[in-house]
Amino acid sequence: MELVYLPYYLFKILLSTERRERKEVCISADGISGNFSFFTAEKIDFTEKPEGDSFDFVISRKEAEKKALEEYRWLLIKHSFTKSRLPRLETISETSLIYYPYWVGYYERGGRYDFRALDGISGEFGGIRMREVFLSACRQTGRRFKQISRE
């Protein structure tokens, strides 16, 4: 196993409803392919530079913002079919750059090596989407995971 850090963009967006209610939401997009996810940073302490191996940002803030907002709008549409109006995206008020920890475990299966990524904060296994992000990160940055020994 090894601890690696993926780059992420954090965005704070302001939503408004038809009743003029405003709500701030924190979303994130990975810095490799821009996949959207919600982000809750209530009990997380950040450091400026990760202590372990990390991937570099591949896509720009603008690219990540565009993709994350597009995915978030579709999520709003999907969950708003029973309501008369969708919340409206007002502004993006802040952008931060962070490195998020993942434990990556390697194993041999069928004569080949495979890996699984475990979220370093929540402890949950990353699904197929995270697998694609890690593989894309390796392809786009030329970085390899640590060598796997046959001990």
What is the dihedral angle through the alpha carbons of 88, 23, 82, 71, rounded to the nearest 10 degrees?
A: 60
Q: Tokens for 80?
A: 């708003």
pLDDT, tens digit, 9 for 90 and up, residues 45-99? 666 677 778 888 999 999 998 888 888 878 777 766 555 566 666 667 667 888 8
Which residue type occupies 120? G
How much is the pLDDT for 150?
46
Q: How many CB atoms lie within 10 A of CB 115?
A: 15
How much is the pLDDT for 60?
93
Q: What is the C-alpha to C-alpha distance for residues 117 and 134, in angstroms, rounded to an integer?
A: 8
Q: Tokens for 34?
A: 């821009």
Q: Tokens for 39?
A: 């982000």
Q: Does residue 42 have a pLDDT over 90?
A: no
Q: Does any domain span residue 25? A: yes
Q: Does any domain span residue 58? A: yes
How much is the pLDDT for 126?
76
How much is the pLDDT for 89?
63
pLDDT top residue among 26 and 31? 31
Query: For the whole model, what pTM was predicted?
Result: 0.79
Q: Does any domain span residue 86? A: yes
How much is the pLDDT for 61?
92
How much is the pLDDT for 69?
83
Q: Does any domain span residue 57? A: yes
Q: Does any domain span residue 108? A: no
pLDDT, tens digit, 9 for 90 and up, residues 88-145? 666 676 678 888 888 888 888 888 878 888 888 888 887 777 888 888 888 776 766 5
Angle, vertex CA 64, rays to CA 95 and CA 72, nearest 5: 90
Q: Which domain holds residue 76?
A: 2-100
Q: Does any domain span residue 133? A: no
Residue 61 backbone zone (phi > 0: left; psi -120 to 50: alpha; other: beta): alpha
Quote the number of domains for the chain. 1
Query: What are residue 27's DSSP bridge partners?
Result: 11, 38
How much is the pLDDT for 149?
46
Q: Does any domain span residue 138? A: no
DSSP notation for the chain: -EEEEEEEEEEEEEEE-TT--EEEEEEEEETTT--EEE---TT----SS-SSEEPPP-S-HHHHHHHHHHHHHHHHHHTTTTSSS--EEEEEEEEEEEEEEEEEEEEEETTEEEEEEEETTT-PBP-HHHHHHHHHHHHHH---PPPPP--
